């Protein structure tokens, strides 16, 4: 196992963790961190679909965090 695999596992674990939280803002924050790990993972592979999909999810999360900060 190399550092790229470990980054992929960390990204997956962070995404899964975000789904056990109850506060929507916390879900979006932790999910964004996991997506950022996946963007880094996609860059290291390289995999454009992984980079684009997770980058878009980060943008969606940021939009909702700043548009509806008390959700």
pLDDT tens for 13-38 read 999 999 999 999 999 999 999 999 99
| Residue-range domain boundaries for the chain | 3-67
pLDDT of residue 38: 98
pLDDT of residue 67: 92
pLDDT confidence of 71, banded at 50, 70, 90?
Answer: low
Higher pLDDT, 37 or 71: 37
65: nearest Cα among 4, 22, 24, 5: 24
């Amino acid at each position: 196992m190399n550092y790229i695999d470990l980054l992929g596992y960390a990204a997956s674990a962070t995404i899964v963790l975000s789904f056990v939280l109850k506060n929507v803002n916390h879900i979006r924050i932790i999910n964004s961190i996991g997506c950022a790990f996946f963007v880094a993972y996609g860059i290291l592979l390289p995999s454009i679909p992984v980079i684009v999909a997770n980058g878009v999810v980060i943008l969606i999360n940021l939009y909702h965090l700043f548009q509806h900060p008390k959700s």
